[in-house]
């Protein structure tokens, strides 16, 4: 609207200026006509501008009226909101006043409760003092009573406590034995059946000969004259042979035979093969001994590799590190309690494989664990430490899996068993070693083990009358007095003896503990 009025004013002003210019004196007639026409146009523009201004003014008044009406409506709404706000404020103020009143009332009640609690605290303190005094008085009475009881019983409190613990322990064992026996029988019924089936199948399917070797090898000679040539002039040949091979050569009165003695079976085999070739060749002197020794040493190394490869083929294992194969082949010349170690490993691998197949476990892994479990015996004399830990380190060095390494290091319980393969390795090793005739032990160790078995059965067990170690130490038979030991106590004694034997002794297989309680009534007819 303001822009329209401003334009109209500008047009009126311009027309006025034109008229003033045209009315100047000296203007020609044409200019007068132009001036008249301009005056007419100016009048028209003025009237039109006036009409436009009136229309704009009318619209402005209409808009002003609308604005006034709108403002009045908004004012009424604002007044209504203000009244609502004042009402809400009044309600909130009343609610706040009520809350303040309730809080004041609650504070009063809490003050009353605090006063009552303080009164109760005072009463509890007095009661606690009274109870403490009563406790001290009862403690004095208890001390006097204990002294009277100790004087009457002739025992101190510690002695009476120890005796009571012993009685309770014995009673607990007596009560636990029937329950334990029932649980063991139910578990053994299924476990023994399954284990017996697996072990029997494994043993029946493995049939291999075991040869017992010692630290001495015998070489037969074509004649006794060869002994002199072996000894040489002033014993130079025998000295050169022992220095080169590291094997002691024993020449005695045995006809047409000499003995080679060495604790290293591989070195003894190299010496035996060297001497055998020297005897066949007939030329025996220090230089020839060194030549034949180097050749024999190479032959034995090849034989060890071949033995290791044959063992892998027999067991059914496809690949293995060449160094492990060579070490495995060296075990063909080593024995453990008279049992050939390589044949023991092959036999154990077959047994472990059969048990793994019965248990639906990886057969090749079980065979591999068992075949390598004694690999450390090939280096026990060169490296310090247990053959189980040495073997595990060797297997780890040559890239064997961690399950195989763990089975090797845990087969003598030097490391806690964590896998089923390790348990199968232990079981196969025990089966192969405990087979009658597989191993032999020294007489001294055998006698000491029997004596210790009888000592364990005799000591710390009341009512034991006689003890016998039977079946080469596989059974302990304990005779108890029937008057002082009943049936349940006999079971307790058997369990205690078995537990002590497990903790103290090392033995193949298992040892049976039999407690015999027998009552006899004898009379004579006259």
* Of 403, 444, 440, 456, nearest in space to 425 by CA: 403
Tell me if residue 395 falls in helix, strand or coil.
helix
Tokens of residue 63, six digits: 């808009």
Judge contact between 35 and 22, C-beta under 8 A. Answer: yes
User: Which residue matches tokens 């203000």?
Assistant: 82
Instruction: Annotate 11-48 with DSSP letters as a single string.
Output: HHHHHHHHHHHHTSTT--HHHHHHHHHHHHHHHHHHHH
* Cα 49 to the center of its chain, rounded Å: 105
Dist. CA 315–CA 353, nearest whole Å: 9
Tokens of residue 44, six digits: 């028209």
* Of 285, 281, 275, nearest in space to 240 by CA: 285
Q: What is the DSSP letter of 340?
A: E
> Computed from CA positions of residues 56, 59, 63, 64, in that sequence, does the dihedral angle turn out positive or negative?
positive
CA distances from 279 to 41, 169, 230, 238, 257 (A): 157, 74, 8, 13, 12
* Of 186, 278, 196, nearest in space to 232 by CA: 278
* Cα 523 to the center of its chain, rounded Å: 66
Dist. CA 334–CA 264, nearest whole Å: 8
Dist. CA 269–CA 261, nearest whole Å: 10
Q: So what's the pLDDT on residue 433? A: 74
Q: So what's the pLDDT on residue 25? A: 53
Q: So what's the pLDDT on residue 208? A: 44
Judge contact between 428 and 407, C-beta under 8 A. Answer: no
Q: So what's the pLDDT on residue 13? A: 65
CA distances from 92 to 81, 84, 89, 99, 214 (A): 16, 12, 5, 10, 109
Nearby residues of 264 by Cβ (< 8 Å), 6 or more positions away: 246, 381
Q: Where does 178-247 show beta strands of DSSP type E?
A: 216-220
User: Which residue matches tokens 């002994």?
Assistant: 227
Q: So what's the pLDDT on residue 157? A: 63
> How big is the CA angle at 245 (ends 240 and 251), to the nearest 5 degrees?
65
Q: So what's the pLDDT on residue 207? A: 45
Tokens of residue 106, six digits: 């609650």
How buried is 353 (Cβ within 10 angstroms: 0-12 exposed, 13-18 middle, 19+ buried)?
Answer: buried
Nearby residues of 271 by Cβ (< 8 Å), 6 or more positions away: 217, 241, 245, 246, 247, 249, 260, 262
Burial 7-28 (b: 16+ CB within 10 A, else e): ebeeeeeebeebeeebeeeeee
Pairing of strands 216-220, 339-340: unpaired
Nearby residues of 348 by Cβ (< 8 Å), 6 or more positions away: 370, 371, 373, 425, 428, 429, 431, 432
Q: What is the pLDDT along the chain (526 residues), one digit of tens a residue?
A: 555 455 555 655 665 565 555 555 544 567 667 777 877 887 888 788 888 888 888 888 888 888 888 888 888 888 888 888 889 889 999 999 999 999 989 888 898 888 888 888 888 888 888 888 888 888 888 777 777 766 766 666 676 677 767 777 777 776 777 777 777 777 777 776 677 667 666 655 554 443 334 567 788 888 878 888 888 888 888 888 888 888 888 887 777 788 888 877 788 888 888 888 888 888 888 888 888 889 888 888 888 888 888 888 888 887 888 888 888 888 887 777 667 888 888 888 999 899 888 888 888 988 999 888 888 888 755 566 778 888 888 888 888 889 999 999 888 888 888 888 888 888 888 888 766 555 555 556 667 778 888 888 887 677 888 888 877 677 888 888 888 888 888 888 888 888 888 888 776 667 888 888 887 777 777 6
Q: Where does 224-369 show beta strands of DSSP type E?
A: 248-250, 257-261, 335-336, 339-340
Nearby residues of 293 by Cβ (< 8 Å), 6 or more positions away: 244, 245, 270, 274
* Cα 123 to the center of its chain, rounded Å: 58
């Amino acid at each position: 609207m303001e822009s329209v009025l401003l334009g109209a004013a500008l047009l009126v002003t311009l027309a006025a200026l034109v008229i003033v210019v045209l009315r100047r004196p000296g203007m020609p007639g044409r200019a007068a006509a132009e001036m008249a026409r301009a005056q007419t146009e100016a009048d028209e523009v003025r009237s039109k501008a006036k009409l436009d201004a009136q229309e704009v003014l009318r619209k402005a008044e209409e808009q002003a009226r609308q604005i006034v009406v709108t403002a009045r409506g908004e004012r009424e709404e604002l007044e209504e909101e203000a009244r609502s706000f004042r009402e809400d404020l009044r309600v909130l103020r009343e609610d706040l006043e009520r809350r303040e009143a309730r809080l004041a009332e609650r504070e009063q009640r809490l003050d009353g409760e605090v006063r009552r609690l303080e009164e109760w605290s005072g009463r509890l303190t007095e009661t606690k003092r009274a109870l403490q005094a009563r406790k001290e008085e009862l403690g004095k009475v208890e001390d006097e009573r204990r002294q009277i009881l100790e004087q009457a019983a002739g025992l101190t409190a510690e002695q009476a406590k120890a005796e009571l613990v012993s009685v309770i322990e014995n009673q607990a064992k007596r009560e636990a034995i029937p329950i334990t026996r029932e649980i063991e029988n139910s578990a053994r019924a299924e476990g023994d059946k399954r284990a017996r089936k697996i072990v029997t199948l494994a043993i029946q399917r493995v049939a291999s000969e075991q040869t017992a070797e010692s630290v001495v090898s015998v070489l037969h000679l074509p004649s006794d004259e060869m002994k002199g040539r072996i000894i040489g002039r002033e014993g130079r040949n025998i000295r050169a042979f022992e220095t080169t091979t590291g094997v002691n050569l024993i020449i005695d009165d045995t006809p047409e035979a000499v003995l080679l003695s060495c604790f290293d079976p591989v070195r003894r085999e190299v010496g035996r093969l060297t001497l055998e070739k020297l005897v066949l060749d007939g030329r025996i002197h220090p230089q020839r001994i060194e030549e034949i020794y180097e050749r024999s040493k190479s032959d034995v190394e090849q034989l060890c590799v071949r033995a290791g490869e044959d063992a892998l083929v027999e067991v059914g294992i496809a690949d293995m590190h060449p160094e492990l194969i060579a070490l495995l082949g060296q075990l063909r010349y080593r024995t453990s309690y008279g049992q050939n170690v390589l044949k023991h490993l092959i036999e154990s691998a077959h047994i472990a494989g059969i048990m793994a197949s019965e248990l639906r476990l990886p057969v090749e892994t079980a065979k591999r664990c068992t075949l390598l479990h004694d690999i450390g015996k090939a280096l026990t004399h060169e490296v310090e430490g247990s053959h189980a830990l040495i073997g595990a380190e060797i297997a780890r060095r040559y890239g064997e899996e961690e399950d195989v390494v763990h089975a090797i290091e845990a087969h003598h319980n030097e490391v806690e068993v964590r896998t089923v393969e390790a348990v199968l390795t232990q079981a196969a090793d025990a089966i192969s070693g405990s087979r009658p005739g597989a191993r032999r032990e020294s007489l001294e160790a055998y006698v000491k083990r029997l004596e210790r078995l009888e000592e364990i059965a005799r000591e710390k067990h009341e009512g034991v009358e006689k003890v016998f170690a039977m079946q080469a130490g596989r059974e302990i038979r304990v005779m108890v007095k029937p008057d002082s030991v009943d049936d349940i106590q006999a079971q307790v004694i058997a369990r205690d003896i078995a537990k002590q034997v497990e903790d103290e002794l090392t033995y193949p297989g298992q040892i049976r503990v039999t407690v015999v309680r027998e009552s006899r009534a004898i009379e004579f007819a006259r």
